[in-house]
Amino acid sequence: MRQRTLSAVFVVLITVVPIVLGTAILLALLLGVTIQAARELTRGFSRSLPLSLSSASVTIPAAILLIVTFFTTSGTILLAASVAALFFPLAWYAHSDDLQQGLRAALTTSFAALYLGLPLSSALALRSLEGEMTSEWIRALARASGNEQTALGLAWIGWAIAITWLTDTSAYLVGARWGRHKLTPRLSPGKTREGALAGLLTGAVVGALGPSVFGLPFAAWFGALAGTALAGLAELGDLAESFLKRGLGLKDFGTSIPGHGGVLDRIDALLVTIPASLLLATLLGGGNG
């Protein structure tokens, strides 16, 4: 438990600081996350399936999506970059001696590249949002980073990450202490219904703090509903990654974060909640970034 807590503190620090400092530093962090997560994914697939995968074939298209998003959040350009990322692995493995093996490797790699690239590029787009918001402390942090215009983006991504991580923490603690009924024994034996319910309630509470603490442009009741939905998506993202691991016969994707597993094990829920938060912000008219 102590090791897990220390690792969590470390992860929070190396995540929060780049997010506060702005998109350029955040891009560097996300590229590092992409490289490590791609290694974990390709290693997991290669060990469990009769495939020979290259982590570079995952990293390159995912990194392209991140870099394109750094320079523009145009939907048309991002769609074009996504299509390119989808077809890049086909070209990469087209030289394979065994074409059937090459096709399986290409399709697996395309999934991995988009599984990482699209959600992580959403984090950059979310952080870049500009617009009106009312939280002075968020505005001060954005001002310290040299770009007060993106204070709204900082508020949105901070709110989304707070919901995601606190949902996970409360589900873990309540499940460990009071959990009696398994949620999905085949996918994740440690998860309980009691923990999942605690996570949803936590999401509602943190979500309701969106306007008062983060200065976001919606009412507290709406924040509670949105927070509950995000908490549910966080739990689904966690279960989706558990499905991948169990299907591949793995306990964790890595060991780089003691007590948590690999990088992919730590960001699984964020891969769902960050894009969902970007969609919500866009629907509410948040930003012109």
The answer to whether residue 20 scores a pLDDT higher than 80 is yes
The answer to whether residue 233 scores a pLDDT higher than 90 is yes
The answer to whether residue 133 scores a pLDDT higher than 90 is no
- Percent residues over pLDDT 70 in the chain: 96
Average pLDDT over residues 176-193: 89
- What's the whole-model pTM score? 0.90
Asked if residues 277 and 157 have their Cβ atoms less than 8 Å apart, the reply is yes
Task: Say what angle helices 99-127 and 270-283 make with each other, to 10 degrees.
Answer: 50
The answer to whether residue 9 scores a pLDDT higher than 70 is yes
- Percent residues over pLDDT 90 in the chain: 45
User: pLDDT tens digit string along 87-123?
Assistant: 888 888 888 888 888 888 888 888 888 899 989 999 9
Strand stretches in the chain, DSSP E: 182-184, 188-192
User: pLDDT tens digit string along 258-274?
Assistant: 766 889 988 999 999 99
- Model confidence at 194, in pLDDT bands (50, 70, 90)? very high
Tell me whether residue 226 is exposed, middle or buried, using C-beta atoms within 10 angstroms of its C-beta: 0 to 12, 13 to 18, 19 or more.
Answer: buried
- Model confidence at 207, in pLDDT bands (50, 70, 90)? very high
* pLDDT value, residue 1: 61
The answer to whether residue 228 scores a pLDDT higher than 80 is yes
* pLDDT value, residue 289: 43
